[in-house]
Structure 1
Amino acid sequence: MTEELAERVQRWIAGDPDPATREELHGLSDAELTDRFSGPLTFGTAGLRGPVRAGPNGMNVAVVVKTTAGIAAWLIEKGLGGSTVIVGRDARTGSEQFAFAAAETLSAQGFSVVLLPRPLPTPVVAFAVRALGAELGVQITASHNPAADNGYKVYLRGGSQLIPPSDAEIEALIAATGDAVDVPRTIVEPSGTDIAARYLDSVVALPRSTRRDIRIALTALHGVGGELATAALRGAGFRDVQVVEEQFEPDPTFPTVTFPNPEEPGAADAVLALAEEIDADIAIALDPDADRCAVGVPGPDGWRMLTGDETGALLANYLLSDSTADPLVANTIVSSQLLSALAPARGARYARTLTGFKWLVRAGDGLVYAYEEAIGHCVDPNVVRDKDGISAAVVLADLAAGLKLDRRTLLDVLDDLAVEFGVHLGSQVSRRVEDLAEIGNMMRRLRSEPPTKLAGRPVAVLDYADRDDELRTDAVEISGPGLRVIVRPSGTEPKLKAYLEVVEQVDNRDDLTRARATAGELLAELTTFAQQL
């Protein structure tokens, strides 16, 4: 260990208010300490996120206190001292301790802190910030990350996520904060607010179909969404909701899944098995903090989960069938191009944003729906200005129930959309790395030696880093006739992601099988390319 690193470690230990993490650092090897002190956690796509461990680049009490002190200083600089702030948490390892540390730090700086009384879904915090007129909200969560992780998500006034330049301003103030042990903290009692009940009232009012007799299989994936999701569905009139019992109660170890993300292979197996066993109409899987929703459907080859883009097209088509004048819908640069064709055909405006709901909910006036391919859906932007798996589940149940009345299914609607707009078939390839520097190396290689052809078709390359508009970001788009690949680093995980899409036109309903087979062959070629990046 270098002398400089040894001094940094000792300074951190002396300034850490938590005896457990102080002791943890004392027991680490030089290599482990080099890793822990390689740099601080920074605000990514959805705030801070990282492993629960001691040191400046882990989630621990010292990092939470210093982060919150920086946020408090930022609010005071903006003339918002003494304002109301919301602090919530999920049920992950460390969430309760971190939530109390954040609330106590804010309280000591004179803020009126509403500390939510129990683990609750992330959308409830987004709702609370808006409903209570708070200036800021904090949710302790790592969403669908592996069990070892936790995080710190920030909402601004109105209930939308933190965006630049506020994130950089806060990071500068965090860096200027002294030792965590010297940051004042005042004891905060959890609030008796009925905010969860108020949230439920808004969700149960969403359905518009008169039909309710469908059977729903639901999993909470060991997260905090089970109780509110079943209450919302049943409160909206969907009485036949059956749950995956072994995944219903919150459990921070996520014992039945490798990655607690409904998109991951195998994560939704239990709910699909339940759906088949009980002859359900749809299956719904929430991620651990219930801000994402995936839906499963029965088909000719058995049950399968729809992709986020398929669900996005279904919800957009449904919500636009009964929307306000001049509505706006939005998705991200890595989501399907289908929405850009569907929107004008349904009399709506369309917007394309950078990845993340912090951008989607700011897409423009008149927003009625926004989604991203990572199973995130905002179906009620005037109430929750973020993705919300519970409200999305209720609207999907409403859609499925209305279709059942006409002896139709979600797959029938997807067929309709394919005939009208062409088969849009998408996929994603993720390259997880141990060394974050490798992500930058892969992006540099792609930029320096871009392909001129993919799947035998000529392609053009667009580097989003060269743009001078609101879509400027670290991403590269490769596109040609009927195909598109977008490559970008993940904002929340150590991954390089490639988003693939092919479009095959359809002559008529009888041509669907041929078009889907052709699209599948082309997508397989794009997948091979992405796996070799």
Structure 2
Amino acid sequence: MIDIDSWIAHDPDAVTRTELIDLKQRADSGDSAARAELDDRFSGLLEFGTAGLRGEMAGGPFRMNRAVVRKAAAGLVDFLQERVGRDALLVIGYDARYNSHDFALDTAAVATAAGARALIFPRHLPTPLLAWAVRFLGADAGVMVTASHNPPRDNGYKVYLGGRAVEPEARGVQIVPPFDSEIAARIAVTPPADEIPMASTGWSLIDESVVDAYLERTKSLVAPAHASDLKIVHTSMHGVGGETMRRVLEGAGFTNVHEVPDQAEPDPDFPTVSFPNPEEPGALDLAIAEAKRVGADLVIANDPDADRCSIAIPTSDGWRQLNGDEIGSILGEQIAKIGAITGGTFASSVVSSRLLKEIAHSHGLKHATTLTGFKWIARAPEIIFGYEEAIGFCVDPEGVKDKDGLTAGLLFAYVTAQLRSRGLTIEDQLDNLARAHGVYLTAPVTIRVSDLAIMPATMAHLRANSPQTLAGLSVTEVSDLSEGSPELPPTDAVVLLNEKGDRAVVRPSGTEPKVKCYLEVIEPVGESIEAAHAEAARRMAQLQKDMSAALTLPA
């Protein structure tokens, strides 16, 4: 337990310091809820991992606040200067969440006081712009202050390495072990937050030409002088992607773009959605309503920091939101046409559809299966495209070696326009892929928990009691990935396959309190694609029931 009085005395932020004093007084007066909250806030220092920091904004060492951020910045800069020298170059970006700008300025002040060079974006911008800047400017590291699609109360601190700090293929990619633990060790020995030296000036603003260079590069993803009257509805989900997405689309010839009015401007409260994640049920309701109103051809939705991209399309049965695997297969087929000439590797996470591997091989390309997260996907050798089912897509790894919802949205719009010019739709393209490779139907089963101890208990129960049949077919293989495999390093996941190749991958979430199960059914297409879809849907329904039962702990 971290000393409460000492932390309060050294908290540099009057707001969180006052908040903690009040909480401690209520706890000392016998308020049991205040005591439990205080104990939680002081249960340790917010853990710095491969995702950097992420947590609820409030006072105390186990929350996101200026004291925690200053210590994180000091540890990161100490790590960088030992690795590359005192003149380490750090670039800093931030979103429009509460406190993001303050956290970014504190990081610049800490870095500058330590003798490092700090560059900060002049305004809130999407995460892909920070990832771009790390590579474009040759920075040794980048910090993006964002909690992506987390609830309004949260914020985060994402770290990229680049420049002289890592090998060329890892520049501009989020950190992986052992860098996280090395930085965490330095954070642990930093002085109290108010004793960390802070510069009042000395950092520089990133020039607008860096943004312009990113926008210019996005044009290379489509044919020169391309123009289209494709009618697009875009939502930035109250985040920071709206302006940049419009400029990306317009620069590539898409000028008929309609924003969702109630979600167009950044708003840290995310008032029109219960959860600012485009994957969540209902999150696209306003966008689809706007698409119906204007007669749109396509909906593009970004999460609040615009590193993810969701898509909805009109069908004969109404508007339908595509899942990440469907979007990934459409983008993969498009990029494979170029990759067939240039060569390269497609990469996708172990929980994503296996269809991408078939697409890659059909075009003479290599494929790599990785652990979940773009910190692993982007490290695939010779990568030219990567994705994960959680609507993350990397369509231009030479520019942004991370997921980028802006360029993914642009490329999807281009594919849609190209298909339309031939009298085809996205649904037609999905059917074409099914005829070539089979129906690859994916769906999730998610077990949300209130007690984090249930997550390891659920994984242990599955390992000890794995089902003998799935979707009415014998289970032929159970792989415990905690032991590692020829393709993957050890990770906490279990993979089950039945005799038809239907698959379930189960793992605890790394960012949310839930156990996630990723299901996939493969059904060859014979004379009737409708029959193949129907059979795949039938087995998927049974597979979902079977895995829900397998993940339910005994009473």
TM bin, normalised by shorter chain, reads over 0.9
Distance 1:242 1:256 in 2: 18
Q: Does the 8 A contact of 1:44 with 1:492 survive in 2?
A: no
Q: Is the 8 A contact 1:332 1:371 kept in 2?
A: yes
- Residue of structure 2 aligned with 1:471, choices 489, 494, 508: 489
How far off is 1:418 after superposition? 0.7
- The 5-angstrom pairing of residues 345-494 of structure 1 reads 345-365=362-382, 367-459=383-475, 460-467=477-484, 470-480=488-498, 481-494=500-513
Aligned to 2:296: 280
User: Counterpart of 1:253?
Assistant: 269
Q: Please tell me whether the aligned partners of residues 211 and 401 of structure 1 are also in contact (alpha carbons under 8 angstroms).
A: no
Rounded to whole Å, the distance in 2 between the matches of 1:301 and 1:333 is 32
| Structure 1 residue 15 displacement after superposition | 2.3
The alpha-carbon deviation at position 326 of structure 1 amounts to 2.1
Given candidates 205, 225, 234, the residue that maps to 2:241 is 225
Distance 1:380 1:24 in 2: 45
Percent identical residues:
46
Letter in 2 for 1:177: T
Q: CA deviation at 1:330?
A: 0.7
Helix, strand or coil: the match of 2:118?
A: strand
SS at match of 2:90: strand
Measured against aligned partners, the alpha-carbon deviations of 1:390-409 in whole angstroms (never above 9, x if no partner) come to 11111111111111110111
Q: Distance in 2 between matches of 1:207 and 1:160?
A: 24
Q: Which residue of 2 aligns with 1:9?
A: 4
Shift in Å at residue 8 of structure 1?
1.8
Counterparts in 2 of 1:7-406, with a 5 A limit?
A: 8-28=3-23, 29-44=34-49, 46-157=51-162, 158-188=171-201, 191-194=205-208, 195-208=210-223, 210-323=226-339, 324-365=341-382, 367-406=383-422
Contact 1:80 1:135 in 2 (8 A): no
Q: Measure, in 1, the Cα distance between the counterparts of 2:189 and 2:485.
A: 31
Greater shift, 119-128 or 168-177, is seen at 168-177
Per-residue Cα deviation, 1:133-182 (whole angstroms, up to 9, x for no partner): 10000000011111111100001102111111101111111111121111
382-391 or 51-60: which moved more? 51-60
Note the aligned Cα RMSD (angstroms): 1.5
Structure 2: 5+ residue runs without aligned partners? 24-33, 163-170
> Residues of 1 paired with 2:545 and 2:200: CA distance?
55
**Separation in structure 2 between the aligned mates of residue 47 and residue 424 of structure 1, nearest angstrom:** 34
Residues 419-460 of structure 1: CA distance to partner in whole angstroms, max 9, x if unpaired? 111111111222222322221111111112211211221112
* Structure 1 residues 357-398: Cα deviation after superposition (integer angstroms, max 9, x where no partner): 111111112x21100001001000000000001111111111
Corresponding position: 1:498 with 2:537: no
Q: Please say if residues 117 and 190 of structure 1, whose CA atoms lie closer than 8 Å, have aligned partners that are also in contact.
A: no
- C-alpha distance in structure 1 between counterparts of 2:298 and 2:84, whole Å: 49
Amino acid at match of 1:486: V
- Paired residue type of 1:376: G
Matched residues in 1 for 2:489 and 2:289: separation? Answer: 41
Corresponding letter in the other structure for 1:85:
L
1:87 Cα deviation from its structure 2 partner: 0.7
* Post-superposition offset of 1:478: 1.2
How high is the TM-score relative to the length of structure 1? 0.96
CA deviation profile, 1:279-334 (whole Å, cap 9, x unmatched): 11111000000000111111121001111000000001011112343221110000
Contact preservation (8 Å) 2:79, 2:186 = yes
What amino acid maps onto 2:128 in structure 1? P
Moved more, 74-83 or 335-344: 74-83
Q: Which of the numbers 526, 548, 553 marks the counterpart of 1:507?
A: 526
Aligned counterparts of 2:91 and 2:290: Cα–Cα separation in 1? 37
Once the two structures are TM-superposed, the CA of residue 12 in structure 1 deviates from its matched residue by: 1.6
Partners of 1:80 and 1:409 in 2: how far apart?
54
CA distance in 2: counterparts of 1:381 and 1:490, whole angstroms: 26
Could you tell me how far 1:45 is from its partner in structure 2?
A: 5.2
For residues 153 and 543 of structure 2, what CA distance do their matches in structure 1 show?
33
Residues 64-105 of structure 1: CA deviation (Å, up to 9, x unaligned): 011111101111221332121101100011111111111111
Determine the C-alpha separation between the residues in 2 that align with 1:442 and 1:287.
Answer: 30
Tell me, in whole angstroms, the C-alpha distance in 1 between the residues paired with 2:292 and 2:504: 35
Matched to 1:31, the amino acid is A
Shift, 1:530, TM fit:
3.5
Letter in 1 for 2:420: K
**Mapped partners of 1:483, 1:164: distance in 2:** 32
Find the aligned partners of 1:397 and 1:80 in 2 and give their Cα distance: 44
Separation in 2 of the partners of 1:76 and 1:344? 43
Counterparts of 1:415 and 1:39 in 2: how far apart (Å)? 52
Greater mean alpha carbon deviation, residues 80-89 or residues 42-51: 42-51
CA shift at 1:468, angstroms? 5.4
- Paired letter, 1:360: I
Q: Which has the higher contact order (CA 8 A, sep 6+)?
A: 1
How far is 1:184 from its partner? 0.7
SS in 2 for 1:38: coil
Could you tell me the TM-score, scaled by structure 2's length? 0.92
Asked if 1 retains the 8 angstrom alpha-carbon contact of 2:118 and 2:204, the reply is: no
Q: Distance in 2 between matches of 1:192 and 1:332?
A: 33
Q: How many residues align?
A: 525
CA distance in 1, matches of 2:391, 2:385: 13
Equivalents in 1 of 2:374, 2:220: separation in Å?
A: 23
* Contact in 1 for aligned 2:55/2:156 (Cα 8 Å): yes
SS of equivalent to 2:215: helix
Do the aligned partners of residues 53 and 445 (structure 1) sit closer, same or farther apart at CA in structure 2, a change above 3 Å counting? same
Contact 1:45/1:356 (CA < 8 Å) preserved in 2?
A: no
Distance 1:80 1:90 in 2: 29
| Contact 2:336-2:359 within 8 A present in 1 as well | no
**Shift in Å, 1:44:** 4.4
1:495-527 Cα deviation digits (max 9, x unpaired):
21111111111113xx11111121112112222
| Post-superposition offset of 1:213 | 2.0
